[in-house]
Structure 1
C-alpha cells in the first residue's frame, strides 16, 4: 500500500503546480512547482487565505466554496493569479474536493503558451507582409525603370531648354519612388556579422539622439553589465534601435510631452522562447518613453510598412527594425498606454549553429 509519505513524494516530483487548501481555503501544502509558480515558499504561504494570492471575484470564490460543500470538481480557464512579487500570471486551474481534507488545486501556467501563440502570429503576419511588399516592389520597379529610361531618351531629343525641366521632374520622381521601394524592402544585403557589445550599440544611438535634440530628450541608462558579447551586424542593430528611439523622440516632440524621457534597459534572460524556438540566453532590450502612447487601433498592424501613429511618420522605421531583428533570430514586441510606451527587443546570445 502506498503511504502518505509516498503520496507527498509523488506530488513533489510533478511538473505541474499542486496545492492543498483546507476547508477555510487556506494553503496547507504546495509542491515545488507551485512554489516556483507563486514565487514563494510553502512555509511563507501556509495558512494564508486564497484571496491573498489568487485574484478572483466574490462570485468565483463562492463557486469554490460551493464546490467544497458539494464535493463536485470544476475547472477554470485563463484566471488571473497574482504572485507575492506582484507579477500577474494567466493560468488554468482545476478544483478537486477531497473528503475530510479540503481541496486539491492543480494550476497550469498559460502565459508561456499564450506568448508563443502571440509571437508565432506576429512573425507570421510580418512574413506575410514581407512577401506582399516584395511582390508589390517588383511590380513597381519594373515600369519605373521603363519610365525613367524613356524620360532620359526624350530629354536628349528635346530642343527647347524649358522642356527639359519636365523630363528632369519625371526622372527625379522615378528615382524617389525607387528609393521608397528600396526602403520598403529593408536591408537588401546580407548582414556582416561581428562580435559586438549591445551597450556600445546603445551608446552610439544615444550620441546620435543627443546631437539631434541638443539634450532636449532625457535619456536614462539602466544597463546589465553581465550581458556577454554576441555575434551581430553592428550597423543594422544601430539602425533598428535608432528607428524606435527616433520614433519615440519625434512622438514626444510632436505631442509636447513635458519632461520627455527615454529609458534604455538591458537584461539577460534565460530559457526564453521566441516564436517556436527556445533559447538558453537572450539579451532583452527595453526602450521606454513617457510620450502619448500608440493608438489601440494600430496595435495589430504597427509593424506593417506604411503604418504610423505620427502625422509626419513614414511608417517604415518599425517594419525595417523588425526585419533586422528577424535576421538576428530575434523579434520586437510592444505595449503602450498614454504616458508609457515600451518596446521589447529580444536578441538570442548563442550563435545560430550552437
Structure 2
C-alpha cells in the first residue's frame, strides 16, 4: 500500500505487477502480482534496490533515472529480464513518474507476456518453416534430376576416353555431383523408413554424451539431471539421437573448447504442440553457458543454410527440427549472453505394446 493512503489498495487485485520505487530506486511497495512474477515475497522485496533484482535486463537504469527527474511516463514492450538465479521473463513495462510525500518516485507496471508471445511466435515460425520446407523440397527435386543426368553423362564420357588425364576430369564431375546429391538428400531429411518403438529417452542422451566425449572436449563439462520417472517414449532412436547430437555439437562449437553443457529431462503437463493438446510431454533441455545466439539469427535459426559459423552448412538445426516435427514434437529456444537453452518437447503416448 502506498504511504499515507487510507484507501483500499486496488493493486492487490490486478494481474499486472505494480512496483513503486523511491528516488534511490529502492522498492517501497509491491502488489501480489509482482510477488508472483518475481517469485520473491513482498516482505523481501520491500527495501531491495531495483537494479539488483535483475542480473540482466534490456531496460536500462539510465532511463529510470531520467524519468525520476522528469514528469511523464514511458512504455517498453518485450523487455527481457534475467534474475540472479537464472530465471528469465519476457514482459511489457510502463514506467510513470509520481510525486509521493513531496519526493519523486517511479511506478512500474509489469505485464508478463511469455505465454502469449511464445504461442504467437510458435505459430508464426511453424508457418514460415512449413513454407521454407516446401520450397526446399521443390528446389531439391529440381536439382537432383539434372545432377543424375550430369553424373550419368560423365560416366559414359569417362568410358570413351583413353587418356587418364582426361578421365581425371570426369571423375571430378562425378565426385562433385555425388557431393551435391548428398547435400540435397540432407536437405530433404531422412530417406529411410523410420524404426519407431517404445524406448528410454535417457539412453539416447547417454549415447550423445559418449559421442561428444570422443570429440576431445576435456574442458567442456557435461552435466546430467534426468527425471527417472519418465516412461518410455515412442520414437526412432537413430533419428532422435541425430537431432540431439546436432544441437549438442552446436553447443560444443560455440563454447570453443571450454564451458558447461547440461542435459535435463522433465515432465510437462497440458502442453499444446502445433495446435494439438497433449496431457503429458517430456521436456529435453540442452543448455550451454556460451555467448548466446546472435540476435540477427534468432528468427531464422532453423532455416536451411542459415548459420553463424564460417565453415557451417546451416543444416544441423534444420534437420533436427524436421526430425522432431516427424515425432509430433517441437523445439523452442531461449538465449541471452551466457545462457542458451534448446527445449525439445515430445508427447508421451500411451504404450500399447504387449508387456
1:203 and 2:213 are equivalent in the alignment: no
**SS of 2:215's equivalent?**
helix
Query: What's the offset of the Cα at 1:247?
Result: 1.7
Hey, what does 2:287 align to over in structure 1?
288
Q: 1:17 to 1:270 in 2, by over 3 A?
A: farther
**SS of 1:225's equivalent?**
coil
Contact 1:301/1:307 (<8 A) preserved: yes
Distance of 2:154 and 2:314 partners within structure 1: 30
**SS of 1:297's equivalent?**
helix
**TM-score normalised by structure 2 residue count:** 0.70
Hey, what does 2:3 align to over in structure 1?
none
Q: 1:59 to 1:133 in 2, by over 3 A?
A: closer
Q: 1:193 to 1:34 in 2, by over 3 A?
A: farther
1:138 and 2:153 are equivalent in the alignment: no
**TM-score normalised by structure 1 residue count:** 0.70
Hey, what does 2:155 align to over in structure 1?
152
Contact 1:282/1:346 (<8 A) preserved: no
Contact 1:284/1:344 (<8 A) preserved: no
Structure 1 regions of 5+ residues with no counterpart? Answer: 1-11, 64-75, 94-105
Match of 2:188 among 161, 185, 189: 185
Hey, what does 2:218 align to over in structure 1?
215
How many residues are matched?
A: 329
Q: CA RMSD in A?
A: 4.5
Hey, what does 1:315 align to over in structure 2?
314
Bigger mean CA deviation after superposition, 147-156 or 231-240? 147-156
Query: What's the offset of the Cα at 1:179?
Result: 0.6
Contact 1:151/1:167 (<8 A) preserved: yes
Hey, what does 1:273 align to over in structure 2?
272
Structure 2 regions of 5+ residues with no counterpart? Answer: 1-11, 21-26, 54-58, 68-74, 95-108
Contact 1:268/1:282 (<8 A) preserved: yes
The 5 Å alignment of 1:1-354 reads 89=89, 90=91, 109-156=112-159, 158-162=160-164, 163-213=166-216, 215-252=218-255, 255=256, 259-328=258-327, 329-337=329-337, 340-351=338-349
Contact 1:147/1:174 (<8 A) preserved: yes
1:43-95 superposed Cα distances (whole Å, 9 cap, x missing partner): 9999x9x9999x999999xx9xxxxxxxxxxxx89588999x995653689xx
Query: What's the offset of the Cα at 1:193?
Result: 1.5
Distance of 1:41 and 1:261 partners within structure 2: 31
**SS of 1:188's equivalent?**
coil
Query: What's the offset of the Cα at 1:147?
Result: 0.7
